[in-house]
């Protein structure tokens, strides 16, 4: 769901307004007017700050991060406590026609360290997957470290070419080992899983049932599927049974999001499965989801609809059991009680044309929510307190004695008669500079770095050995000048914000 024109800073400012006390904020029949909960009872209420953790863009340039899941146990390439993130679109240049063509899963630590987990080649899939590979928000990890990711592929980013896809099973090294496809898998879009011992119950929302090329007409035939699986160390997941537990959920073609249908799922402790129904802004509840043998009509009962819900996509349960959903429609997160009362709303994406939230998970410490922003292509943390700047920028001592100043370029350009260079971060938010090569004469060099993008960046200069010679602070909005005294040689410049260099923010500085 890429939205263009990113004009404002990605950060913060929020409301909590007592939407819990508003009796018309939900039309759920389950809602009764008991005492309105205080704002403090809402998990979202104190989470007023957004910090960007890392870019989610891997080396091949895939964008539109959709799925996110926390790694429970270290095995193979999987690192416990880190997060896996699946990308739905191929690279930035294909933004208009890349939906349903993303092939990568990245792994990111809470400190913002990014690594590649998997790049899936449709040509070498180990089983059927009608249409190929376009990774969705359906992303879970099974016992034994097997990763299950949904594929809803297209050939050109348009829903008319969308095919049913499959679930792709990867081992803990990120290698595809099997696919799960067939009549019950029709555009797997979201999922949630519960594992006990070697057994997993996996719930999957299908977004495309009954055909992919139906124009703009709303189609009320999406399903939720329950799949029982067995897996373990060196035991590839085996499907034991598949049961459709809900049907009649609406879906519709969307130029922006490819499809609006049932998306995020979450399983309550009482066995109720909640479904984020994006097309009609509802949260549905399927009772006895672990055991039922017949499908709930119309996706079950309506827990809540409308109000603060605007195209809910991702879903996760707060520690209290309240349901947190991320709105594709306006960039807000909404908290709903199991009784159907919307008790809190927080803005997590305030940009112009906001509305690019997708997957979300509760932070390991339980004090925040990690979420992907598929407009910015970043992993973010919604949390309490002050913004956290994830930066490893260093002013390591060096014989070249770098110094830095924050003066205006005009003031520094001629300082000491040295050479003045300039560099800019891409103002549209792409992770690149406006130049990949700079050259200067040996001696005093002043480099003016401008960042008018919506993300904070820096410019770091390092020797070929990797030793950092100097760096600007990480900042957003304006310019800063880095003044260095440089010997002849070849240096690298890059942005040290985690993930940015890997995504392309780097170049070469030649000093003669
Ligand atoms: Cu950067």
CA of 429 from ligand 1 middle (Å) equals 10
Distance 70 CA to ligand 1 centre (A): 24
CA of 449 to the centre of ligand 1 (A): 12
* Ligand 1 midpoint to CA 378 (Å): 11
- Residue 97 CA to ligand 1 center (angstroms) comes to 26
What distance in angstroms lies between residue 393's CA and the mean position of ligand 1's atoms? 11
Does the residue 5 lie in any domain?
no
- For the entire predicted model, the pTM comes to 0.70
CA of 377 to the centre of ligand 1 (A): 12
CATH code for position 67: 2.130.10.10
Q: State which of 332, 348, 383 marks the end of a domain.
A: 383
Residues 6+ apart with CB under 8 A from 113: 54, 82, 498
Q: How far is the CA of 457 from the centre of ligand 1 (A)?
A: 4
C-alpha to C-alpha distance for 35 and 341, rounded to whole angstroms = 11
How many A from CA of 355 to the centre of ligand 1?
22
Compute, in angstroms, the gap from residue 462 CA to the centroid of ligand 1.
Answer: 15
How remote is the CA of residue 389 from the centroid of ligand 1, in Å? 11
The DSSP H or E segment spanning 503 is: helix 500-503
Query: How much distance in Å is there from the Cα of 505 to the middle of ligand 1?
Result: 7
Tell me whether residue 14 is in a domain.
no
319 Cα to the center of ligand 1, angstroms? 34
The tens place of each residue's pLDDT in the chain, 512 residues long, gives 444 333 333 323 333 333 333 333 333 333 333 334 444 479 999 998 888 888 998 888 888 899 999 999 999 999 999 999 999 988 755 556 688 999 999 999 988 889 999 999 999 999 999 999 999 999 999 999 999 999 999 988 888 888 999 999 999 999 999 999 999 999 999 999 999 999 999 999 999 886 544 455 678 889 999 999 999 988 999 999 999 999 999 998 877 778 899 999 999 999 999 999 999 999 999 999 999 999 999 999 999 999 999 999 999 999 999 999 999 988 899 999 999 999 999 988 866 455 677 899 999 767 799 999 988 889 999 988 776 643 333 322 233 333 333 333 333 333 345 678 999 999 888 889 999 999 999 888 899 999 988 888 999 998 877 778 888 888 888 888 888 888 889 999 999 887 888 888 999 999 99
Centre of ligand 1 to C-alpha 396, Å, is 19
361 and 432 housed in the same domain: no
| C-alpha atoms less than 13 angstroms from C-alpha of 325 in its C-beta half-sphere | 38
* pLDDT given for residue 352 in this prediction: 47
Q: Does residue 309 lie in a domain region?
A: yes
Q: Is 353 in the same domain as 440?
A: no
In a domain, 398, yes or no: no
pLDDT score at 220: 83
Q: Measured in angstroms, how far is the CA atom of residue 6 from the centroid of ligand 1?
A: 16
Question: What's the 119 CA to ligand 1 centre distance in angstroms?
Answer: 23
Q: How far is the CA of 476 from the centre of ligand 1 (A)?
A: 10
Cα of 420 from ligand 1 centre, angstroms: 22
- Do 287 and 171 fall within a single domain? yes
Per the domain annotation, does 462 fall within a domain?
yes
Residue that is last in its domain, among 355, 383, 411? 383
Same domain, 409 and 274: no
- Which of residues 349, 383, 417 is at a domain's end? 383
DSSP symbol at 192? E
Answer yes or no: do 127 and 227 share one domain: yes
DSSP string over 379-402: EEEEESSS------------TT--
pLDDT at 419: 76
Task: Answer yes or no: is 10 within a domain.
Answer: no
Does one domain contain both 412 and 373? no
**How much distance in Å is there from the Cα of 459 to the middle of ligand 1?**
8
Give distance in angstroms: CA of 409 to centre of ligand 1.
20
Tell me, what's the pLDDT at 156?
A: 86
Rounded distance from Cα 54 to ligand 1 centre (Å): 9
Distance 291 CA to ligand 1 centre (A): 48
The alpha carbon of 496 and the centre of ligand 1 are apart by a number of angstroms equal to 6
Distance between Cα 29 and ligand 1 center (Å): 48
Within 10 Å of residue 473's Cβ, how many Cβ atoms? 16
CA of residue 388 to ligand 1 center, whole Å: 15
My answer on whether 329 and 297 are in the same domain is yes
Q: Kindly state whether residues 87 and 142 are assigned to the same domain.
A: yes
390 CA to centre of ligand 1 in angstroms: 10
Distance between CA atoms of 373 and 236, rounded to whole angstroms? 32
Which CATH number fits the domain that encloses residue 445?
2.60.40.420
Per-residue model confidence (pLDDT) at position 202: 98
| Same domain for 496 and 450 | yes
Q: Which domain holds residue 139?
A: 19-383
Count up the domains in the chain and report the number: 2
Q: Cβ(288)–Cβ(295) under 8 Å?
A: no
By the 8 A CB rule, do 107 and 83 touch?
Answer: yes
Q: What spacing in Å lies between the alpha carbon of 320 and ligand 1's midpoint?
A: 36
User: Is 289 found in the same domain as 162?
Assistant: yes
Provide the token pair at 381: 């943390």
Give distance in angstroms: CA of 400 to centre of ligand 1: 24
Does 57 map to a domain?
yes
Residue 393 lies in a domain: no
How far, in Å, is the centroid of ligand 1 from the Cα of 418? 26
| β-sheet bridge partners, residue 224 | 205, 246
∠ CA 504-61-124, rounded to 5°: 140
Q: Which of 110, 181, 56 is nearest to 381 (CA)?
A: 110
Instruction: Say what the pLDDT of residue 211 is.
Output: 56
Ligand 1 centroid–CA 383 distance in Å is 21
CA distance 199 to 159: 35
Helix (H) or strand (E) holding 410: helix 409-412
Cα(48) to ligand 1 centroid in Å equals: 23
Distance 283 CA to ligand 1 centre (A): 37
């Amino acid at each position: 769901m890429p939205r263009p024109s990113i004009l404002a800073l990605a950060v913060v400012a929020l409301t909590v307004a007592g939407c819990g006390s508003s009796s018309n904020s939900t039309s759920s029949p389950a809602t009764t007017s008991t005492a309105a909960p205080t704002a403090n009872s809402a998990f979202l209420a104190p989470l007023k700050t957004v910090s960007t953790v890392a870019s989610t863009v891997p080396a091949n340039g895939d964008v539109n991060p959709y799925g996110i899941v926390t790694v429970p146990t270290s095995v193979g390439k999987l690192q416990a406590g880190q997060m896996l993130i699946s990308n739905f679109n191929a690279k930035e240049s294909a933004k208009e026609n890349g939906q349903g063509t993303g092939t990568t899963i990245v792994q990111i630590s809470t400190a913002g360290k990014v690594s590649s987990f998997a790049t899936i080649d449709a040509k070498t899939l180990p089983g059927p997957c009608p249409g190929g590979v376009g990774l969705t928000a359906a992303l879970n990890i099974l016992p034994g470290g097997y990763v299950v990711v949904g594929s809803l592929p297209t050939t050109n980013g348009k829903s008319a070419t969308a095919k049913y896809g499959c679930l792709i099973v990867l081992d803990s090294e990120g290698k595809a080992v099997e696919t799960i496809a067939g009549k019950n898998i029709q555009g797997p879009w979201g999922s949630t899983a519960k594992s006990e011992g070697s057994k997993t119950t996996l719930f999957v929302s299908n977004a495309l049932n009954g055909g992919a090329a139906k124009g703009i007409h709303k189609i009320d035939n999406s399903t939720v599927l329950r799949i029982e699986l067995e897996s373990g160390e060196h035991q590839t997941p085996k499907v034991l049974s598949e049961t459709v537990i809900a049907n009649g959920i609406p879906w519709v073609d969307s130029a922006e999001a490819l499809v609006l249908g049932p998306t995020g799922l979450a399983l309550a402790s009482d066995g109720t499965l909640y479904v984020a129904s994006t097309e009609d802004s509802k949260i549905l509840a399927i009772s006895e989801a672990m055991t039922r043998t017949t499908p709930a009509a119309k996706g079950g009962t309506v827990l809540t609809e409308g109000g603060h819900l605007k195209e809910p996509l991702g879903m996760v349960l707060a520690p209290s059991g309240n349901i947190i959903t991320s709105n594709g429609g306006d960039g807000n997160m909404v908290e709903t009680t199991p009784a159907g009362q919307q008790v809190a709303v927080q803005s997590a994406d305030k940009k112009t044309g906001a509305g690019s939230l997708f997957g979300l998970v509760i932070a390991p410490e339980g004090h925040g929510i990690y979420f992907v922003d598929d407009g910015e292509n970043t992993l973010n943390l919604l949390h309490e307190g002050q913004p956290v700047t994830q930066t490893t920028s260093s002013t390591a001592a060096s014989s070249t004695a770098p110094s830095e100043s924050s003066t205006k370029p005009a003031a520094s350009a001629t300082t000491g008669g040295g050479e003045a260079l300039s560099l800019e971060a891409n103002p549209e938010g792409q992770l690149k500079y406006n130049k990949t090569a700079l050259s200067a004469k040996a001696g005093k060099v002043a480099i003016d770095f401008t960042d008018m993008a919506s993300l904070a960046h820096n410019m770091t200069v390092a020797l070929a050995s990797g030793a950092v010679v100097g760096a600007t602070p990480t900042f957003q909005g304006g310019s800063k000048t880095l003044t260095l005294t440089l010997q002849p040689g070849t240096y690298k410049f890059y942005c040290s914000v985690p993930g940015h260099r890997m995504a392309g923010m780097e170049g070469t500085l030649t000093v003669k």
